[in-house]
Amino acid sequence: MDKIYFEKMSFYGYHGVFEAEAQLGQRFYVDLEVSLDLSKAGRSDDLNDTVNYADIFNLVSHIVEKERYQLVEALTSTIADRLLERFPFEEVKVKVTKPNPPINGHYEAVAIEMVRTRRKGS
């Protein structure tokens, strides 16, 4: 299966359990790996035979920047589900990184990664 990757898309969102996270917000990074058949686009060199990367980016941007979730797990799951609803992907892998969660300690970031596969007949 062919794949399209988006690496380290950067967004500012207001996700988290604590009130300060909802008020102040913070940076989130999203990585995507989406699987679909790209053979027709490879032969035709026509955008109509593939997916528009800007549409994918805009959907993820809207979810991260305009919606609010307490858990990064819920944010990650929503991104995966909406990508499968809107685009002809067979599988999506979504990784959301929260560089500054309110944890007292030394670490670079916390991330959630989920893989979702299109159900047969969907």
Residue pLDDT, tens place only, 69-109 = 999 999 999 999 999 999 999 999 999 999 988 888 888 89
Q: Exposed, middle or buried by CB within 10 Å (0-12, 13-18, 19+), for 28?
A: buried
- For the whole model, what pTM was predicted? 0.94
Distance CA 17, CA 121 (A): 37
Indicate the domain borders of the chain. 2-117
Q: Tell me which residue has tokens 């307490």.
A: 70
Distance CA 99, CA 92 (A): 22
The CATH code of the domain at 2-117 is 3.30.1130.10
Given this model, what pLDDT does residue 101 score?
86
Coil vs helix vs strand at 109: coil
- Active site members: 98
User: Considering only CA atoms, which of 111, 88, 113, 99 is closest in space to residue 1?
Assistant: 88
